[in-house]
Amino acid sequence: MWFKNLQIYRLPRAWAVTADELSAALASQAFTPASSSELLRQGWAPPRGDGAPLVHAVNGQFLLQLATEKKLLPSSVINQVAKAKAAELEEQQGFAPGKKAMKELKERVADELLPRAFSIRGNTWAWIDPVNGWLVVDAASPSKADDVIKLLLKAVDKMPLESVRLQHSPVAVMTAWLESDEAPHNFTVDQDTELRATGESRAAVRYVKHSLDPEDIGRHIAGGKQCTRLAMTWNSRISFVLTEQLAIKSVRPLDVIKEGEAITYSDDERFDNDMMLMTGELAKLLADLVEALGGEAKA
């Protein structure tokens, strides 16, 4: 198991919480299936299946899973049924429903259709590293990560969670790397990047699997563009894309990591081994990346 996208948050180093304490705090928000009248239901689910703890702990690292059940009730279906009912009402009363009546009709239709709507279930994973003080959500967008953070802050009283604050912005540092044609220690720059103008034009140029010619890149930077996305590889072990918001996307472990995986003989052993490998490598990556970006801002 490997996270594909990293939304990163800060906790105090050596955060003093046990897996049992955290699991007990999450218990009040454990996931239960949505009722027939609910459009959305979210809650914590055991990472290793029913009957397991809500927090899976391996080697001092915690894994959490937020389960989401959502009913599929497209507005086009509601509008279609409401339109048919409005036509019936018009025939009965001799005039079409007004704006307010139509809104109320759509609301009633939605309530009637909800129990028959199809449900989809999704899971969002979160990793807590109490040793090094990281909380990472496997989400492509900040809004999806917010679902995890909001529920976590509601469950854990006074949880000391913060955004990562850096000495320098990722945009400025990534632009400097490209301009100097020099990657930071332990990193290489790959062949994908995006440079965007800061003015009203918001003009942008994107390179995809394309050699980043220093002269070409330099002209774009001289013209006022800055780097907002940059594909990189860390220590020849993990490739990823760094964004202007300090999100890490398209995370992919390289063959050198896979070749070093221990042989396991059961699903539980394999899961725990993968978790140890992932959390160990990502903790080192995050430490090196923060250092490459100039370090964290002092309070």
What pLDDT was estimated at residue 239? 97
Burial of 293 (0-12, 13-18, 19+ CB in 10 A): buried
Token pair belonging to 147: 């679902």
What CA–CA distance (Å, rounded) separates 236 from 253?
9
Nearest to 5 by CA among 259, 282, 208, 273: 282
Nearest to 152 by CA among 122, 127, 120: 127
* Judgement on whether residues 127 and 109 belong to the same structural domain of the protein: no
pLDDT band at 104 (very low <50, low <70, confident <90, very high): confident
pLDDT in tens, 209-242: 998 998 999 999 999 999 999 999 999 999 999 9
**100: containing domain:** 75-115
The residue that leads in pLDDT, 95 or 167, is 167
Domain count within the chain: 3
Please report whether residue 45 resides in a domain.
yes
Token pair belonging to 33: 């299936």
Please report whether residue 2 resides in a domain.
no
What CA–CA distance (Å, rounded) separates 142 from 164?
13
Q: Sign of the C-alpha dihedral, residues 262, 266, 272, 278?
A: positive
pLDDT band at 263 (very low <50, low <70, confident <90, very high): low
Please report whether residue 299 resides in a domain.
no
* Judgement on whether residues 102 and 82 belong to the same structural domain of the protein: yes
Q: Is the pLDDT confidence value at 258 over 80?
A: no
At residue 271, the 3 state secondary structure works out as helix
pLDDT in tens, 150-162: 999 999 988 999 9
* Judgement on whether residues 261 and 176 belong to the same structural domain of the protein: yes
* Judgement on whether residues 26 and 127 belong to the same structural domain of the protein: yes
> Hey, how many other C-beta atoms are within 10 angstroms of the C-beta on 79?
13
At residue 250, the 3 state secondary structure works out as strand
pLDDT band at 202 (very low <50, low <70, confident <90, very high): confident
Please report whether residue 224 resides in a domain.
yes
* Judgement on whether residues 180 and 253 belong to the same structural domain of the protein: yes
At residue 173, the 3 state secondary structure works out as helix
What pLDDT was estimated at residue 29? 94
* Judgement on whether residues 26 and 155 belong to the same structural domain of the protein: yes
Please report whether residue 297 resides in a domain.
no
* Judgement on whether residues 175 and 139 belong to the same structural domain of the protein: no
* Judgement on whether residues 286 and 263 belong to the same structural domain of the protein: yes
